[in-house]
Amino acid sequence: MTDIKAFYDAAEATWPPASTHTPGPWTIREGRGGGKRVSAATAHAPITQDDIPAAEAAMRALGQPPLFMIRDGDAALDSLLAGAGYRLIDPVVICAAPVAAIATEHPPATSTFTIWEPLAIMKELWAETGIGPERLAVMDRVTGPKTAVLGRVNDRAAGAGFVAIHQGIAVIHAVSVTQAQRRQRTAVNMMREAAFWAQDHGATTFCALVTAANAPARALYASLGMRDVGHYHYRIG
């Protein structure tokens, strides 16, 4: 399957920060409230303890608290930050499978739709789970192929998601199912519909990012044949 750097690149391209800056060995992201992934700094060159204050200052200048993303190969940086008092938060697992392994059966008619731009009801569903205007702005910033996915059950809107493609990798984000309509295969139907859309738009790999503690989502992805292919976590002061 695709190497881990390609998954990191796809995650960034399909959920992009408002801007990036590269002072010295750092990549500094301006998140504008779009979440940790678009606000965290990463290293693109070897780091010493003396490099950390510059990254902290750059993030504070953007009105963001110092936050670092630790990816595969960043063990030295992870150790430096731990020694500087940064605590580990939100370990994330990258799950993936061939698109064809998920796009195996179409969901029932009228149970799912792909549409861009998102409908007002989809924005309301996202808002129920804390996905507000700042994260909708992240979706708007994506320049490649993208769509929103609406899930329906019992003739009512029940869920929303967002999927975009970068270099053959489709990444699904912001999957949300309203509490009252859970356990009725809405999420499964949305994932399959997203996979068919991705297949139609040239993607060969389907990917999701999920916190390690989110057991229900990880079980859903595993049931669709997705396996863990990588990880990252954050360090916060």
Q: What is the pLDDT of residues 148-194, one digit of tens each?
A: 999 999 889 999 999 999 999 999 999 999 876 667 789 999 999 99
Q: Detail the DSSP E strand segments found in 80-224.
A: 87-98, 112-115, 146-153, 156-166, 169-177, 205-211
CA-to-CA distance for 124 and 130, rounded, in angstroms?
A: 10
Residue pair 67/47 in contact by the 8 Å Cβ criterion:
no
Which residue has 């999420």 as its token pair? 187
70/78 Cα distance (integer angstroms): 6
CATH number for region 96-230? 3.40.630.30
Residue 185 confidence (pLDDT): 86
* Domain limits, CATH 3.40.630.30, in the chain: 96-230
- The backbone torsions φ and ψ at residue 118, rounded to the nearest 5 degrees and listed phi first, read -60, 145
Cα gap 33→153, rounded to integer Å = 31
SS3 content of the chain, % helix, strand, coil (to 5): 35, 30, 35
Q: Which residues of the chain have pLDDT under 70?
A: 1-2, 180-182
